[in-house]
Amino acid sequence: MKKHNFSAGPSILAPEVFEKASQALLDFEGTGLSVAEISHRSPAFLRVIQRAQALVLEIAGLDNSYEVLFLQGGASMQFLMVPYNLLETKAAYIDTGTWANKAQKEAALFGKAEVVASSKAEGYKFIPKGVTVSGDFDYLHITTNNTIYGTEFHTLPQTTVPLVADMSSDIFSRPLDYSQFGLIYAGSQKNLGASGSTVVIVKKDLLGKVSRKIPSMLDYQLHIKSESLYNTPSTFAIYVNLLVLEWLQAQGGLHAMEQHNRAKANLLYGEIDRNPLLVGYANKEDRSLMNVVFNLTDESTKERLDTLCKEANISGIQGHRSVGGYRASIYNALPLESVQVLVEVLKEFERTA
């Protein structure tokens, strides 16, 4: 029976992606070999990674002044790689959640990493407003969407220094002027594919300016020179990246995806705000389109709601331990039908109270 997968990640992929990926695991493009066993330097795989890199730039509307890398280590490795490559004197960080906080702490190992705004004291329920960063900062780092607390930047901060963004949980969920960013990184396992690869989009002229020596595996310039093949990449994960990017284009691109995601979010937030047994966690003006976080007004009713969700084949909806309650992750590939099922469960939860 169909599961409605609201997992925060690794998360849902489109059925078409699963089908093509499973076929390629058995026989990749008629080669008689699995995509998991072909050489990463073979012409067949080079076509995969180069096509995926080109699609990232095309979907983002960026030119060849940017480079696309497929790396390993997840977004957490980028907490380290960004300051290694960009932080010479000091950097600015906006602290809007657990992952933003971790990124700042990693950067502080390399130089001054100044928190210029934070919502930590208020439980990360909102995005700080009116932040302007200029002067002698090497870059400003933000986390565009916060999976744990369900907040999202709907307006970017004003800055005259390069803007760096962790977009792991909302990349390609909506149109943005991606040229406003000097560097973007995202773990694949939410909107871009399977776990195992990390996408980095970097403006090439930002690199080569720090005085420190950079270890080979952490050097963006070396990975660019090696075309993401300095070491053996996550070949199957990158192939899934390609399938997801092609699927995204086939859906109509970022404008169509935004309409799809807003329809899901509006439906679910509407029920949360209407239902007297539920309360949303994040401030309304900063709510995420990707992660809908809510709590119960009476925690003693949790077992009943959990039972209703299980009966409806709803999976992955439990909230993060730091917030409690529930979190419905409604990434690109989640169909509206799944949100409709969840909304009906929440209505039934109220009716049977």
Is residue 170 within 8 Å of 191, Cβ to Cβ?
yes
For the segment 310-332, what is each residue's pLDDT rounded down to a tens digit? 999 999 999 998 899 999 999 99
The residue segments making up the domain with residue 130 are: 15-250
For the segment 190-204, what is each residue's pLDDT rounded down to a tens digit? 999 999 999 999 999
Domain harbouring 336, CATH code: 3.90.1150.10
Give yes or no: residues 223 and 280 share one domain: no
Rounded CA-CA distance 97/142 in Å is: 10
pLDDT band at residue 246 under the 50/70/90 scheme: very high
Give yes or no: residues 246 and 339 share one domain: no
* Catalytic member of 95, 99, 247, 264: 99
Give yes or no: residues 176 and 41 share one domain: yes
Q: What is the mean pLDDT of residues 240-259?
A: 98
Tokens coding 323: 């917030």
In a domain, 208, yes or no: yes
Rounded CA-CA distance 351/337 in Å is: 21
Its pTM surpasses 0.95: yes
In a domain, 284, yes or no: yes
Give yes or no: residues 222 and 312 share one domain: no
Is residue 200 within 8 Å of 218, Cβ to Cβ?
no
Give yes or no: residues 57 and 189 share one domain: yes
In a domain, 260, yes or no: yes
Q: Which of 250, 280, 315 is the last residue of a domain?
A: 250
Rounded CA-CA distance 128/153 in Å is: 9
208 secondary structure, DSSP code? S
Give yes or no: residues 222 and 135 share one domain: yes
Domain harbouring 138, CATH code: 3.40.640.10
Is residue 52 within 8 Å of 71, Cβ to Cβ?
no
pLDDT band at residue 213 under the 50/70/90 scheme: very high
Strands (DSSP E) found in the chain: 4-5, 66-71, 90-95, 112-118, 132-133, 140-143, 145-146, 151-152, 158-159, 163-166, 183-187, 198-203, 278-280, 291-296, 314-315, 326-329
Rounded CA-CA distance 76/65 in Å is: 25
Give yes or no: residues 36 and 176 share one domain: yes
Distances (CA, A) of 171 to 181, 187, 190, 204, 353: 13, 10, 9, 20, 38
For the segment 97-138, what is each residue's pLDDT rounded down to a tens digit? 999 999 999 999 999 999 999 999 999 999 999 999 988 999
Q: Which of 215, 250, 285 is the last residue of a domain?
A: 250
Q: Which of 229, 250, 271 is the last residue of a domain?
A: 250
In a domain, 1, yes or no: no
In a domain, 308, yes or no: yes
* Catalytic member of 95, 138, 170, 190: 190
Active site residue 102: no
Q: What is the mean pLDDT of residues 52-77?
A: 98
**Burial of 80 (C-beta count, 10 Å sphere; 0-12/13-18/19+):** middle
In a domain, 10, yes or no: no
Active site residue 219: no
Rounded CA-CA distance 126/123 in Å is: 8
Rounded CA-CA distance 75/73 in Å is: 7
DSSP letter string over 265-289? HHHHHHHHHH-TTEEESS-GGGB-S
Give yes or no: residues 118 and 242 share one domain: yes
Tokens 């002067």 — which residue?
135
Q: How many domains does the chain have?
A: 2
DSSP letter string over 17-47? HHHHHHHHHH-STTSSS-TTTS-TTSHHHHH
Q: How far is CA 302 from the centre of its chain?
A: 29
Give me the sign of the Cα torsion angle 156, 157, 161, 165.
negative
In a domain, 112, yes or no: yes
Give yes or no: residues 56 and 121 share one domain: yes
How many C-beta atoms surround the C-beta of residue 156 within 10 A?
A: 16
- 179-187: long-range contacts (C-beta < 8 A, 24 or more apart)? 179/61, 179/62, 180/156, 182/139, 182/206, 183/82, 183/86, 183/139, 185/75, 185/78, 185/82, 186/75, 187/9, 187/74, 187/75
Give me the pLDDT at residue 208, please. Answer: 96
Give yes or no: residues 206 and 321 share one domain: no
Give the pairing of strands 132-133 and 140-143. unpaired
Helix (H, G, I), strand (E, B) or coil at 307: helix
The CA-to-CA distance between both ends of the chain, in Å, stands at 27
In a domain, 5, yes or no: no
Active site residue 190: yes
Give yes or no: residues 277 and 206 share one domain: no
Give yes or no: residues 65 and 214 share one domain: yes
For the segment 261-292, what is each residue's pLDDT rounded down to a tens digit? 999 999 999 999 999 999 999 999 999 999 99
Is residue 142 within 8 Å of 181, Cβ to Cβ?
no
* Catalytic member of 20, 95, 138, 166: 166
Distances (CA, A) of 98 to 75, 144, 148: 13, 12, 8
Give me the pLDDT at residue 1, please. Answer: 66
